[in-house]
Structure 1
Amino acid sequence: MTATDQDAFNEQKSERDRRSIRDLIENWAIWRDAGDWERFRTVWHDDGRMNATWKQGTADEFIKASIEGWNRGVSILHFLGGSSIELSGERAIAQTKMTISQRADVHGILCDVVCTGRFYDFLERRLGRWGLVMRQPIYEKDRIDPVDPSASLKLDGNLLSQFPVGYRHLAYLQSQIGYPVKKDMPGLKGQETEALYARGQDWLHGKSLSEAHSAPR
Protein backbone atom coordinates (compact mmCIF):
# COMPACT_ATOMS: atom_id res chain seq x y z
CA MET A 1 0.00 0.00 0.00
CA THR A 2 1.42 3.37 -1.01
CA ALA A 3 1.42 6.39 1.26
CA THR A 4 -1.39 7.86 -0.84
CA ASP A 5 -3.43 4.68 -0.49
CA GLN A 6 -2.83 4.68 3.27
CA ASP A 7 -3.97 8.30 3.53
CA ALA A 8 -7.12 7.49 1.58
CA PHE A 9 -7.84 4.46 3.77
CA ASN A 10 -7.35 6.49 6.95
CA GLU A 11 -9.64 9.24 5.63
CA GLN A 12 -12.37 6.73 4.79
CA LYS A 13 -12.07 5.11 8.24
CA SER A 14 -12.25 8.52 9.93
CA GLU A 15 -15.34 9.43 7.92
CA ARG A 16 -17.04 6.14 8.85
CA ASP A 17 -16.28 6.73 12.51
CA ARG A 18 -17.66 10.27 12.37
CA ARG A 19 -20.86 9.06 10.72
CA SER A 20 -21.28 6.32 13.33
CA ILE A 21 -20.79 8.80 16.17
CA ARG A 22 -23.18 11.33 14.67
CA ASP A 23 -25.78 8.58 14.20
CA LEU A 24 -25.38 7.64 17.86
CA ILE A 25 -25.84 11.25 18.98
CA GLU A 26 -28.96 11.66 16.85
CA ASN A 27 -30.38 8.34 18.03
CA TRP A 28 -29.86 9.45 21.65
CA ALA A 29 -32.15 12.45 21.14
CA ILE A 30 -34.77 10.70 19.01
CA TRP A 31 -35.08 7.56 21.12
CA ARG A 32 -35.00 9.32 24.49
CA ASP A 33 -37.61 11.92 23.52
CA ALA A 34 -39.82 9.23 21.98
CA GLY A 35 -39.64 7.03 25.08
CA ASP A 36 -38.00 4.22 23.07
CA TRP A 37 -36.10 3.01 26.11
CA GLU A 38 -34.81 -0.32 24.83
CA ARG A 39 -33.14 1.23 21.81
CA PHE A 40 -32.03 4.18 23.95
CA ARG A 41 -30.01 1.76 26.08
CA THR A 42 -27.99 0.69 23.03
CA VAL A 43 -26.24 4.06 22.63
CA TRP A 44 -24.43 3.57 25.96
CA HIS A 45 -21.63 1.27 27.03
CA ASP A 46 -22.40 -0.74 30.18
CA ASP A 47 -20.33 1.63 32.35
CA GLY A 48 -21.79 4.77 30.76
CA ARG A 49 -22.64 7.80 32.88
CA MET A 50 -24.96 10.80 32.43
CA ASN A 51 -24.56 14.14 34.17
CA ALA A 52 -27.69 16.28 33.76
CA THR A 53 -28.90 19.15 35.93
CA TRP A 54 -31.58 16.97 37.46
CA LYS A 55 -29.86 13.55 37.51
CA GLN A 56 -26.24 12.38 37.73
CA GLY A 57 -25.42 8.68 37.69
CA THR A 58 -25.02 5.59 35.59
CA ALA A 59 -26.80 5.25 32.27
CA ASP A 60 -29.12 2.68 33.85
CA GLU A 61 -29.97 5.10 36.68
CA PHE A 62 -30.58 7.90 34.19
CA ILE A 63 -32.83 5.70 32.06
CA LYS A 64 -34.78 4.57 35.14
CA ALA A 65 -35.28 8.18 36.26
CA SER A 66 -36.27 9.21 32.72
CA ILE A 67 -38.89 6.48 32.56
CA GLU A 68 -40.27 7.50 35.95
CA GLY A 69 -40.48 11.11 34.79
CA TRP A 70 -42.08 10.10 31.48
CA ASN A 71 -44.74 8.11 33.33
CA ARG A 72 -45.69 11.08 35.51
CA GLY A 73 -45.81 13.55 32.66
CA VAL A 74 -42.41 15.27 32.79
CA SER A 75 -41.91 16.92 29.38
CA ILE A 76 -38.28 17.32 28.24
CA LEU A 77 -37.35 17.47 24.54
CA HIS A 78 -34.07 17.96 22.69
CA PHE A 79 -33.10 19.50 19.37
CA LEU A 80 -29.64 19.07 17.84
CA GLY A 81 -27.38 21.32 15.78
CA GLY A 82 -23.90 20.78 14.36
CA SER A 83 -21.21 18.52 15.78
CA SER A 84 -17.44 18.75 16.17
CA ILE A 85 -15.79 15.34 16.64
CA GLU A 86 -12.19 14.70 17.72
CA LEU A 87 -10.94 11.17 17.02
CA SER A 88 -8.00 9.42 18.64
CA GLY A 89 -7.82 5.73 17.78
CA GLU A 90 -10.63 3.94 19.59
CA ARG A 91 -11.73 7.07 21.46
CA ALA A 92 -13.49 10.29 20.61
CA ILE A 93 -14.79 13.53 22.09
CA ALA A 94 -17.89 14.97 20.42
CA GLN A 95 -19.41 18.38 21.01
CA THR A 96 -22.90 18.90 19.60
CA LYS A 97 -24.95 22.07 19.69
CA MET A 98 -28.36 21.43 21.26
CA THR A 99 -31.38 22.92 22.93
CA ILE A 100 -33.29 21.46 25.86
CA SER A 101 -36.97 22.37 26.00
CA GLN A 102 -38.98 21.62 29.13
CA ARG A 103 -42.60 22.43 29.92
CA ALA A 104 -44.10 22.49 33.43
CA ASP A 105 -46.17 24.55 35.84
CA VAL A 106 -44.25 27.32 37.60
CA HIS A 107 -46.23 29.00 40.39
CA GLY A 108 -49.44 27.79 38.78
CA ILE A 109 -48.57 29.03 35.29
CA LEU A 110 -47.72 26.62 32.47
CA CYS A 111 -44.27 27.62 31.19
CA ASP A 112 -41.68 26.63 28.61
CA VAL A 113 -37.95 26.84 29.28
CA VAL A 114 -35.51 26.67 26.41
CA CYS A 115 -31.84 26.14 27.27
CA THR A 116 -29.13 26.37 24.60
CA GLY A 117 -25.82 24.58 25.00
CA ARG A 118 -23.69 21.65 23.91
CA PHE A 119 -23.53 17.94 24.60
CA TYR A 120 -19.92 17.10 25.48
CA ASP A 121 -19.53 13.36 24.95
CA PHE A 122 -16.79 10.88 25.88
CA LEU A 123 -17.02 7.95 23.45
CA GLU A 124 -15.17 4.72 22.86
CA ARG A 125 -15.26 1.96 20.28
CA ARG A 126 -15.40 -1.46 21.93
CA LEU A 127 -15.69 -4.70 19.97
CA GLY A 128 -16.34 -2.65 16.86
CA ARG A 129 -19.17 -0.57 18.38
CA TRP A 130 -19.05 3.10 19.32
CA GLY A 131 -20.85 3.91 22.57
CA LEU A 132 -21.19 6.66 25.14
CA VAL A 133 -18.95 6.43 28.18
CA MET A 134 -20.01 9.80 29.62
CA ARG A 135 -22.24 12.68 28.56
CA GLN A 136 -21.77 16.09 30.19
CA PRO A 137 -24.00 18.86 28.88
CA ILE A 138 -22.64 22.41 28.78
CA TYR A 139 -25.37 24.95 29.56
CA GLU A 140 -24.82 28.29 27.81
CA LYS A 141 -28.01 30.36 28.15
CA ASP A 142 -31.73 29.91 28.78
CA ARG A 143 -35.06 31.67 29.10
CA ILE A 144 -38.53 31.02 30.51
CA ASP A 145 -41.85 32.04 28.94
CA PRO A 146 -45.47 31.40 29.89
CA VAL A 147 -47.20 29.24 27.28
CA ASP A 148 -50.06 31.77 27.41
CA PRO A 149 -48.33 35.06 26.51
CA SER A 150 -50.97 37.05 28.37
CA ALA A 151 -50.09 35.34 31.70
CA SER A 152 -48.02 37.22 34.25
CA LEU A 153 -45.14 35.21 35.76
CA LYS A 154 -43.16 36.43 38.77
CA LEU A 155 -40.12 34.42 39.83
CA ASP A 156 -38.48 34.29 43.25
CA GLY A 157 -35.29 36.29 42.69
CA ASN A 158 -33.49 34.70 45.64
CA LEU A 159 -34.11 31.19 44.32
CA LEU A 160 -33.26 32.14 40.74
CA SER A 161 -29.92 33.63 41.76
CA GLN A 162 -28.83 30.35 43.39
CA PHE A 163 -28.31 28.76 39.97
CA PRO A 164 -25.64 29.48 37.33
CA VAL A 165 -26.63 31.95 34.64
CA GLY A 166 -26.43 29.36 31.85
CA TYR A 167 -29.33 27.28 33.17
CA ARG A 168 -30.93 29.22 36.00
CA HIS A 169 -34.44 29.25 34.49
CA LEU A 170 -34.23 25.54 33.64
CA ALA A 171 -33.06 24.84 37.17
CA TYR A 172 -35.82 27.02 38.61
CA LEU A 173 -38.49 25.09 36.72
CA GLN A 174 -36.96 21.72 37.61
CA SER A 175 -36.78 22.66 41.29
CA GLN A 176 -40.51 23.52 41.18
CA ILE A 177 -41.40 19.95 40.13
CA GLY A 178 -39.26 18.35 42.81
CA TYR A 179 -35.85 17.70 41.25
CA PRO A 180 -32.67 18.38 43.28
CA VAL A 181 -30.73 20.45 40.74
CA LYS A 182 -26.92 20.42 40.65
CA LYS A 183 -25.56 23.95 40.95
CA ASP A 184 -22.08 23.69 39.42
CA MET A 185 -22.60 22.44 35.90
CA PRO A 186 -20.34 23.74 33.10
CA GLY A 187 -21.46 26.89 31.31
CA LEU A 188 -20.17 28.92 28.39
CA LYS A 189 -17.13 29.96 30.45
CA GLY A 190 -15.60 29.18 33.82
CA GLN A 191 -13.45 26.73 35.74
CA GLU A 192 -15.94 23.86 35.46
CA THR A 193 -15.86 24.19 31.68
CA GLU A 194 -12.08 24.44 31.52
CA ALA A 195 -11.79 21.34 33.72
CA LEU A 196 -14.16 19.48 31.38
CA TYR A 197 -12.08 20.40 28.32
CA ALA A 198 -8.92 19.21 30.09
CA ARG A 199 -10.60 15.96 31.03
CA GLY A 200 -11.62 15.45 27.43
CA GLN A 201 -8.04 15.86 26.23
CA ASP A 202 -6.83 13.41 28.87
CA TRP A 203 -9.45 10.95 27.60
CA LEU A 204 -8.20 11.31 24.03
CA HIS A 205 -4.65 10.67 25.25
CA GLY A 206 -5.60 7.34 26.79
CA LYS A 207 -6.39 8.09 30.42
CA SER A 208 -9.39 6.53 32.11
CA LEU A 209 -12.12 8.84 33.36
CA SER A 210 -10.95 8.26 36.93
CA GLU A 211 -7.37 9.20 35.97
CA ALA A 212 -8.30 12.16 33.81
CA HIS A 213 -8.20 15.77 34.96
CA SER A 214 -10.69 16.52 37.69
CA ALA A 215 -14.11 17.48 36.36
CA PRO A 216 -17.15 18.96 38.15
CA ARG A 217 -19.10 16.55 40.30
Structure 2
Amino acid sequence: MGENTMEDVMDKVNIRELIEFERYCRDYMHWDEMRTCYHDDAYVVVSWMKGGVDAFIEGSRKRPAPAKHKIFDTLVWKNGARAVVECITAIQIRCEVDGDTVDLSTHTRLHYRVEKRDGLWKIVTMDAVYEKDTMKSAFTDGTFHASREELARFRPTYANMMLRQVKYGGVPNGEMAGEDRPESVRKLYEESSRWLGV
Protein backbone atom coordinates (compact mmCIF):
# COMPACT_ATOMS: atom_id res chain seq x y z
CA MET A 1 0.00 0.00 0.00
CA GLY A 2 1.23 3.50 -0.85
CA GLU A 3 4.11 2.52 -3.16
CA ASN A 4 2.31 1.74 -6.41
CA THR A 5 3.95 1.73 -9.82
CA MET A 6 1.78 2.74 -12.77
CA GLU A 7 1.36 -0.95 -13.55
CA ASP A 8 0.15 -1.53 -9.97
CA VAL A 9 -2.32 1.33 -10.30
CA MET A 10 -3.75 -0.03 -13.54
CA ASP A 11 -3.91 -3.56 -12.16
CA LYS A 12 -5.69 -2.40 -9.01
CA VAL A 13 -8.23 -0.45 -11.05
CA ASN A 14 -8.92 -3.54 -13.14
CA ILE A 15 -9.14 -5.78 -10.05
CA ARG A 16 -11.54 -3.43 -8.30
CA GLU A 17 -13.72 -3.27 -11.40
CA LEU A 18 -13.67 -7.08 -11.62
CA ILE A 19 -14.85 -7.55 -8.02
CA GLU A 20 -17.53 -4.88 -8.13
CA PHE A 21 -18.79 -6.10 -11.52
CA GLU A 22 -19.01 -9.65 -10.16
CA ARG A 23 -21.25 -8.45 -7.33
CA TYR A 24 -23.31 -6.34 -9.75
CA CYS A 25 -23.87 -9.43 -11.91
CA ARG A 26 -24.86 -11.45 -8.85
CA ASP A 27 -27.36 -8.82 -7.70
CA TYR A 28 -29.00 -8.32 -11.09
CA MET A 29 -28.91 -11.96 -12.21
CA HIS A 30 -26.46 -11.63 -15.12
CA TRP A 31 -25.28 -15.20 -14.62
CA ASP A 32 -23.24 -15.66 -17.81
CA GLU A 33 -21.37 -12.40 -17.22
CA MET A 34 -20.81 -13.36 -13.58
CA ARG A 35 -19.18 -16.61 -14.69
CA THR A 36 -16.60 -14.71 -16.78
CA CYS A 37 -15.27 -13.13 -13.56
CA TYR A 38 -13.97 -16.50 -12.29
CA HIS A 39 -11.20 -18.87 -13.29
CA ASP A 40 -12.47 -22.36 -14.05
CA ASP A 41 -10.92 -23.79 -10.87
CA ALA A 42 -12.38 -21.10 -8.59
CA TYR A 43 -13.78 -22.14 -5.19
CA VAL A 44 -16.38 -20.29 -3.09
CA VAL A 45 -17.16 -20.56 0.63
CA VAL A 46 -20.17 -18.62 1.95
CA SER A 47 -22.79 -19.23 4.63
CA TRP A 48 -25.06 -21.34 2.42
CA MET A 49 -22.56 -23.36 0.34
CA LYS A 50 -18.99 -24.26 -0.43
CA GLY A 51 -17.88 -25.60 -3.77
CA GLY A 52 -16.84 -24.76 -7.30
CA VAL A 53 -17.86 -21.62 -9.13
CA ASP A 54 -20.44 -23.32 -11.34
CA ALA A 55 -22.22 -24.76 -8.29
CA PHE A 56 -22.10 -21.32 -6.67
CA ILE A 57 -23.67 -19.60 -9.67
CA GLU A 58 -26.33 -22.27 -10.06
CA GLY A 59 -27.10 -22.06 -6.35
CA SER A 60 -27.29 -18.27 -6.54
CA ARG A 61 -29.71 -18.56 -9.45
CA LYS A 62 -32.02 -20.74 -7.32
CA ARG A 63 -31.90 -18.72 -4.10
CA PRO A 64 -35.44 -18.06 -2.79
CA ALA A 65 -34.98 -14.31 -2.24
CA PRO A 66 -32.87 -11.79 -4.14
CA ALA A 67 -29.87 -10.30 -2.34
CA LYS A 68 -28.34 -6.91 -2.96
CA HIS A 69 -24.73 -6.17 -2.00
CA LYS A 70 -24.10 -2.57 -0.98
CA ILE A 71 -20.36 -1.98 -1.31
CA PHE A 72 -18.62 0.62 0.84
CA ASP A 73 -14.93 0.04 0.04
CA THR A 74 -12.84 -2.33 -2.07
CA LEU A 75 -9.23 -2.77 -0.94
CA VAL A 76 -6.56 -4.49 -3.03
CA TRP A 77 -3.22 -5.97 -1.93
CA LYS A 78 -1.20 -7.00 -4.99
CA ASN A 79 2.02 -8.98 -5.41
CA GLY A 80 2.99 -9.75 -8.99
CA ALA A 81 0.22 -11.70 -10.75
CA ARG A 82 -1.72 -12.32 -7.54
CA ALA A 83 -3.88 -10.11 -5.36
CA VAL A 84 -6.03 -10.35 -2.25
CA VAL A 85 -9.14 -8.19 -2.20
CA GLU A 86 -11.58 -7.26 0.53
CA CYS A 87 -14.93 -5.80 -0.33
CA ILE A 88 -16.61 -4.13 2.66
CA THR A 89 -20.25 -5.01 2.09
CA ALA A 90 -23.75 -4.97 3.53
CA ILE A 91 -25.87 -7.83 2.17
CA GLN A 92 -29.52 -6.76 2.07
CA ILE A 93 -32.41 -9.17 1.56
CA ARG A 94 -36.15 -8.49 1.66
CA CYS A 95 -38.15 -11.68 2.04
CA GLU A 96 -41.07 -13.39 3.74
CA VAL A 97 -40.49 -14.95 7.18
CA ASP A 98 -43.23 -16.27 9.47
CA GLY A 99 -45.95 -14.57 7.45
CA ASP A 100 -44.35 -11.12 7.54
CA THR A 101 -42.12 -9.14 5.17
CA VAL A 102 -38.70 -8.69 6.75
CA ASP A 103 -35.47 -6.90 5.93
CA LEU A 104 -32.24 -8.78 6.65
CA SER A 105 -28.99 -6.80 6.69
CA THR A 106 -25.67 -8.62 7.11
CA HIS A 107 -22.39 -6.73 7.42
CA THR A 108 -19.47 -8.68 6.01
CA ARG A 109 -16.05 -8.45 4.44
CA LEU A 110 -16.06 -10.44 1.20
CA HIS A 111 -12.55 -11.83 0.87
CA TYR A 112 -11.24 -12.71 -2.59
CA ARG A 113 -8.06 -14.10 -4.07
CA VAL A 114 -7.58 -13.11 -7.69
CA GLU A 115 -4.92 -14.10 -10.18
CA LYS A 116 -3.78 -12.82 -13.55
CA ARG A 117 -3.62 -15.62 -16.12
CA ASP A 118 -3.17 -15.11 -19.85
CA GLY A 119 -3.32 -11.36 -19.28
CA LEU A 120 -6.67 -11.36 -17.43
CA TRP A 121 -7.44 -10.91 -13.74
CA LYS A 122 -10.08 -13.34 -12.51
CA ILE A 123 -11.28 -14.67 -9.16
CA VAL A 124 -9.68 -17.80 -7.67
CA THR A 125 -11.51 -17.91 -4.31
CA MET A 126 -14.21 -16.04 -2.44
CA ASP A 127 -14.75 -16.29 1.33
CA ALA A 128 -16.58 -14.09 3.81
CA VAL A 129 -15.81 -12.62 7.22
CA TYR A 130 -19.05 -11.98 9.09
CA GLU A 131 -19.36 -8.99 11.44
CA LYS A 132 -22.99 -8.52 12.53
CA ASP A 133 -26.53 -8.74 11.22
CA THR A 134 -30.10 -7.70 11.95
CA MET A 135 -33.52 -8.87 10.74
CA LYS A 136 -36.76 -7.04 11.42
CA SER A 137 -40.16 -6.45 9.95
CA ALA A 138 -40.35 -4.00 7.08
CA PHE A 139 -43.42 -2.48 8.78
CA THR A 140 -43.77 -0.60 12.07
CA ASP A 141 -46.78 -2.78 12.89
CA GLY A 142 -45.15 -5.98 11.60
CA THR A 143 -45.50 -9.30 13.35
CA PHE A 144 -42.00 -10.79 12.95
CA HIS A 145 -39.76 -10.88 16.02
CA ALA A 146 -36.74 -13.16 16.42
CA SER A 147 -36.48 -14.20 20.04
CA ARG A 148 -33.22 -14.26 21.97
CA GLU A 149 -33.70 -18.00 22.36
CA GLU A 150 -33.97 -18.54 18.60
CA LEU A 151 -30.89 -16.45 17.84
CA ALA A 152 -28.85 -17.99 20.66
CA ARG A 153 -28.71 -21.23 18.64
CA PHE A 154 -26.49 -19.54 16.04
CA ARG A 155 -23.24 -17.61 15.70
CA PRO A 156 -23.76 -14.01 16.92
CA THR A 157 -22.03 -12.47 13.89
CA TYR A 158 -24.59 -13.90 11.45
CA ALA A 159 -27.32 -15.39 13.62
CA ASN A 160 -30.19 -13.71 11.77
CA MET A 161 -28.88 -14.91 8.41
CA MET A 162 -28.61 -18.46 9.77
CA LEU A 163 -32.09 -18.30 11.28
CA ARG A 164 -33.56 -17.20 7.96
CA GLN A 165 -31.76 -20.01 6.12
CA VAL A 166 -33.16 -22.58 8.56
CA LYS A 167 -36.67 -21.18 8.16
CA TYR A 168 -36.26 -21.60 4.39
CA GLY A 169 -35.19 -25.22 4.83
CA GLY A 170 -31.44 -24.63 4.48
CA VAL A 171 -28.50 -25.92 6.49
CA PRO A 172 -26.20 -22.93 7.12
CA ASN A 173 -22.44 -23.27 7.53
CA GLY A 174 -21.70 -22.42 11.14
CA GLU A 175 -17.92 -22.47 10.67
CA MET A 176 -17.41 -19.29 8.64
CA ALA A 177 -14.80 -16.70 9.58
CA GLY A 178 -16.34 -14.13 11.89
CA GLU A 179 -15.43 -11.41 14.34
CA ASP A 180 -16.83 -13.54 17.18
CA ARG A 181 -14.01 -16.01 16.46
CA PRO A 182 -10.87 -13.90 15.90
CA GLU A 183 -8.78 -17.02 15.34
CA SER A 184 -10.89 -17.86 12.27
CA VAL A 185 -10.20 -14.44 10.75
CA ARG A 186 -6.50 -14.69 11.58
CA LYS A 187 -6.33 -18.12 9.92
CA LEU A 188 -7.97 -16.85 6.73
CA TYR A 189 -5.63 -13.86 6.55
CA GLU A 190 -2.55 -15.99 7.20
CA GLU A 191 -3.55 -18.40 4.43
CA SER A 192 -4.15 -15.52 2.01
CA SER A 193 -0.83 -13.89 2.92
CA ARG A 194 1.04 -17.12 2.22
CA TRP A 195 -0.83 -17.51 -1.07
CA LEU A 196 0.02 -13.91 -1.97
CA GLY A 197 3.68 -14.49 -1.10
CA VAL A 198 4.08 -11.73 1.48
Counterparts of 1:86 and 1:141 in 2: how far apart (Å)? 25
2:47 matched residue in structure 1: 53
Within 5 Å, give how 1:90-105 maps onto structure 2: 90-105=81-96
Q: Which has the higher contact order (CA 8 A, sep 6+)?
A: 2
**Amino acid paired to 1:126:** R
1:145 aligns with 2:139: no
Following superposition, the deviation at residue 104 of structure 1 comes to 2.0
Runs of 4+ in 1 over 4 A off after TM superposition: none
What are the Cα deviations for residues 63-109 of structure 1, in whole angstroms up to 9, with x where unaligned? 1111122xxx4221111111221111110101111010112222222
Counterparts of 2:130 and 2:53 in 1: how far apart (Å)? 20
Counterparts of 1:14 and 1:191 in 2: how far apart (Å)? 31
Counterparts of 1:162 and 1:198 in 2: how far apart (Å)? 29
Q: 2:99 aligns with which of 82, 89, 108?
A: 108
2:12 matched residue in structure 1: 18
**Amino acid paired to 1:79:** K
In the alignment, structure 2 segments of 5+ residues that lack a partner are none
RMSD, aligned CA: 1.7
1:190 aligns with 2:190: no
Structure label with greater radius of gyration: 1
TM-score (ref. length: structure 2): 0.93
What are the Cα deviations for residues 35-56 of structure 1, in whole angstroms up to 9, with x where unaligned? 1011000110001111111111
Following superposition, the deviation at residue 155 of structure 1 comes to 2.3
What are the Cα deviations for residues 97-132 of structure 1, in whole angstroms up to 9, with x where unaligned? 101011222222211110112111111110111111
What are the Cα deviations for residues 2-41 of structure 1, in whole angstroms up to 9, with x where unaligned? xxxxxx9x71100011011100111011111111011000
Q: 2:112 aligns with which of 111, 121, 126?
A: 121
Counterparts of 1:53 and 1:193 in 2: how far apart (Å)? 15
Following superposition, the deviation at residue 162 of structure 1 comes to 2.4
2:146 matched residue in structure 1: 155
Q: Mean Cα displacement is larger for which, 100-109 or 114-123?
A: 100-109
**Amino acid paired to 1:54:** W
Counterparts of 2:88 and 2:175 in 1: how far apart (Å)? 20
SS at match of 1:62: helix
SS at match of 1:193: helix
Q: How many residues align?
A: 195
TM-score (ref. length: structure 1): 0.85
Report if aligned partners of 1:91, 1:124 keep a CA contact under 8 Å in 2. yes
Following superposition, the deviation at residue 173 of structure 1 comes to 1.1
SS at match of 2:108: strand
Following superposition, the deviation at residue 156 of structure 1 comes to 4.7
Following superposition, the deviation at residue 184 of structure 1 comes to 1.4
2:61 matched residue in structure 1: 67
Report if aligned partners of 1:160, 1:168 keep a CA contact under 8 Å in 2. yes
Counterparts of 2:176 and 2:19 in 1: how far apart (Å)? 21
Report if aligned partners of 2:136, 2:145 keep a CA contact under 8 Å in 1. no
